[in-house]
Amino acid sequence: MPRTAAANQQIRDAQRARIVEAAWTVFAQKGRATTMADVAAAAGVSYGLAYRYFASKEALYQALIEESLQASATYLERCLQRSGTPRERLIALISGLVNTRRARPELSQLFAHVLGDPATPADLQERAVQIGRAFADLFRQLIVEGQALGEVRDGDPDQLVTAILATLDGLSRLAASDPDRFHQHFPDARIVLGLVLPSAPNMEE
């Protein structure tokens, strides 16, 4: 009995999702040096099938970049709209960024490739820069407001922001350079929060 159009579409959607999921991992590791053959091998599909869904490696890479940027922008918008004290908002912001790196390190790795690759289209690179700056600005705002209320440890706000960003960047790099250590010893979000909070946070705050 021939498959229905809906069944065929379901198969196509599953194949495309499989290719995209493999592409996340391979592009996060290799950046633009990735080939469609690399993606096809990681996905366990034929070389030709990968091209059936994406016309070129660049088309696939750009689709991933767009998804990474959109995910970052969406999370940033939620953080900007979140209510609560500076401490509560810092806990939510940093915990979310740390936990996302644990669950999907390829998102931040690809974001880093976008910022560091001179071949990235200028418009995409500028969007990545703007999103990165917006996160840094939000960190600084919450730190300054929290210090005024005694909720955040004393210290130069810009140095504290740099420490947070460096820690988050380091986790992304560790995922690529030493995945075993990354998975076995990934730090609890409270350790990162200790950079800015004077006391250990209750993660239900």
Residue 203 pLDDT: 55
Q: Under the phi-then-psi rule, with left for phi > 0, alpha for psi from -120 to 50, and beta for the rest, what region is 84?
A: left
For 25-76, what is each residue's pLDDT tens digit?
888 888 778 899 999 999 888 888 888 888 888 888 888 888 888 888 999 9
Residue 176 pLDDT: 81
End-to-end Cα, the chain, rounded Å: 56
Amino acid type, 100: T
For 98-152, what is each residue's pLDDT tens digit?
999 999 888 888 888 777 778 778 888 888 899 999 999 999 999 999 999 999 9
Residue 168 scores a pLDDT above 90: yes
Residue 190 pLDDT: 93
Residue 166 scores a pLDDT above 70: yes
As a whole number, mean pLDDT of residues 70-93 equals: 93
CB atoms within 10 A of CB 100: 16
For 36-46, what is each residue's pLDDT tens digit?
999 999 988 88
Residue 91 pLDDT: 95
Which among 166, 142, 26 has a CA at the least distance from the CA of 87? 142
The set of residues, in sequence order, having a beta carbon less than 8 Å from that of 27 and lying 6+ positions away, is 34, 39, 61, 64, 106, 110, 113
For 183-199, what is each residue's pLDDT tens digit?
999 999 999 999 999 87
The set of residues, in sequence order, having a beta carbon less than 8 Å from that of 2 and lying 6+ positions away, is none
Q: Is 67 exposed, middle or buried (0-12, 13-18, 19+ CB in 10 A)?
A: middle
Per the CB < 8 A criterion, the answer to whether 75 and 96 are in contact is: yes
- pLDDT bin (cut points 50, 70, 90) of residue 159 is very high
pTM over 0.75: yes
Structural domains of the chain ordered from first start: 1-54 (1.10.10), 59-205 (1.10.357.10)
Residue 1 scores a pLDDT above 70: no
Residue 122 pLDDT: 84
